[in-house]
Structure 1
Amino acid sequence: MSAAPSAAGEESQQGLQFIFAALLLLSFTLVLLFYLRREKADDESSRLRLAPGPPGLPVIGNLHQLIGGLPHRSLHLLSAAYGPLVRLQLGRVPALVVSSPALAREVLKTHDLAFCSRPDLTTWRRLSYGGLDLALAPYTPR
């Protein structure tokens, strides 16, 4: 009679060990993927000469730094720390924050063609006649 409870206890212990090993393997794989992705991002950013900005978290980017009812104050603190041009990652979308009037004039007048079009997304192309709808069309002479 005492053999049956010990066998059930051994089976549950083996099940817990299997779950622990699976979670350990999954966490190791995720850490490895994030590390490799960060290495790739570091290689790309070293070639591109991007504006300075705070490091972001893997999924939400820098959204955690803009919390609160007054995000313009958070942006002011970031511009005080990193300069008048700050690169942020808002989720998966990169953003450039310009906090100097002279640089804003430069961005909006001189480099307006680089910043005037919306990103080319597959969903928008399918919903807007191949990206040619009035609201979602790219900036072209047409």
Structure 2
Amino acid sequence: MAASYNGRIISAKKQGAPLALSWEQALLQYDYWVVLKDAPNKENAFKFLAYISQAKPQAAFSTEIPYGPINSDAFALLSKDLVEALPGAPERKGKEIPQNYGIRPPKAVCPDLLIGFKSMPYVMRYSDFPH
């Protein structure tokens, strides 16, 4: 037994490694996108974040690299086999554990630099971002 990113395991399995994934108490890790307060293209940055957060681009991303989408609607656009290989799949809700290392969100650490903070495990919509 070993801890690993699911993408590494899937890649190794495709190359013939005799590996399997267990999702019981798997840690769901977060990623963050931030837009600096004085960013020169702030409006476009928010539009970009809104676009990549939609189901279709998220499904395309998960197809290219088997990491879970941030938009749960993307799962419906993916094959059953791929969904089973992704963290955050709806069928496993409650079995996986969201990480909580006690780290403060970036806005709490540097409020003078940031105008928005969104955690990637949640669906983000353009209207959610400050303008």
TM-score by length of 1: 0.22
Larger RCO: 1 or 2 (CA < 8 Å, sep 6+): 2
| TM-score normalised according to structure 2 size | 0.23
Specify the structure having the higher radius of gyration (Cα). Answer: 1
